[in-house]
Amino acid sequence: MVNILNKYNFILQKNLKRKFKPPKMLLRLYSLVILIVDLVTLLFGIFFAILIALYRIFRPPPLKSLRGEVAMVVGAGRGIGRELAIHLCQLGVNVACVDINIENCSNTVQLASKSLGIAKMYICNITHKDEVAHTVNVIQSELGEVTMLFHCCSIPSPRALVQDPPEIRHTIDLTILSHFWLLDTVLPCMERAGKGHIVVMSSVAGLSGAATGGKRVSLSTAQFAIQGLAESLHTELRHSNIHVYPFIVGAEVAKDIRFRIPSYFGTMPAAEAAKQILDGVRRNYAEFSVPGYLLYLGHIFRILPKKASFMLRDLLDTGVDFG
């Protein structure tokens, strides 16, 4: 008798569930309402993000202090790397000057040591994973946990823009793979310190395609690869990495470069480029260019139709196949 009653109750409950099952139209309407709410929320979020970005163009965030940070400047022997090391020391940062050239790196340390921070020389071939790991361990034991990483070896020298660049394998190893060896060893330091800046630099050619001839294709390809790496890092780490697009830095090859609009697209001194880069770091920008307006110009290149983009590039031609 009990079994019969239980069976009857089970059948009754099953029929009731079927009877009061929501119709498919109601479920579709509910899903549509949720989708509309999500889209409205997204549009409002995008609108306010654009407003904040426009506001920050005219009123940038305040410069934060970097005193007490430990910075690893890779490629500190010359150009932007040297000037970054000097400026960082002036801000009270302890700087590990990393380069493969002993003489150049030593000169940088001598110049940087005249400031508030500490500068030490570390000779390392960053294309070798084991050397990078050993160097970071030594820096960690002597200066502390690395909280700032500046990779300045990704920028082709002005001379490479008008002469034959290095062979392809060396370009890829130095410009791309070295980032992975450095990140493998530096990221744990930043995690332990609870803070960090990863500053990735690539040529303005990373914003859009650039005219390349012969062997310079590898330089341009490398810049696009760095851009992809920076975007992937930003997606994963969000606010801890910064991507910088410097223009042609240094005036030593000005006679080899033709500028159609020299007042806007002339060469920039390395000291000024380093100052602007550090200003962007101290304001926690995720992405910017040196000079700043070239970032927006690069975005315009991507939006325009290909034919219009080529016409604009011809107008702004610098006369070099820079990558």
Question: CA-CA distances (angstroms) from residue 34 to 30, 39, 45?
Answer: 6, 9, 16
11 pLDDT above the threshold of 60: no
12 pLDDT above the threshold of 90: no
Question: CA-CA distances (angstroms) from residue 37 to 24, 48, 49?
Answer: 20, 17, 18
**pTM of the predicted structure, to 2 decimals:** 0.75
Give pLDDT tens digits for 148-195: 999 988 665 544 444 555 577 777 888 888 999 999 999 999 988 888
Give pLDDT tens digits for 303-316: 778 777 777 766 66
pLDDT value at residue 2: 46
* Torsion 71-107-276-182 (CA) sign: negative
Where helices occur in 240-292 by DSSP H, the ranges are 262-265, 270-282
pLDDT value at residue 217: 62
Q: What distance in Å separates the CA atoms of residue 128 and residue 138, rounded to the nearest whole number?
A: 16
Give pLDDT tens digits for 113-141: 888 888 999 999 998 999 999 999 999 99
pLDDT value at residue 182: 93
If one compares 19 and 35, the residue with the highest pLDDT of the two is 35
Q: What distance in Å separates the CA atoms of residue 50 and residue 243, rounded to the nearest whole number?
A: 19
pLDDT value at residue 48: 92
Judge if the upstream peptide bond of residue 291 is cis by omega within 30 degrees of 0.
yes
Give pLDDT tens digits for 243-302: 776 665 554 444 445 555 554 555 677 888 889 889 988 988 888 777 777 777 777 777
Domains of the chain (ranges; CATH) run: 70-316 (3.40.50.720)
| pLDDT classification of 233: cutoffs 50, 70, 90 | confident
Give pLDDT tens digits for 240-250: 666 776 665 55
Where helices occur in the chain by DSSP H, the ranges are 2-19, 24-58, 79-90, 102-112, 129-143, 158-162, 168-172, 178-193, 217-237, 262-265, 270-282, 293-303, 306-315
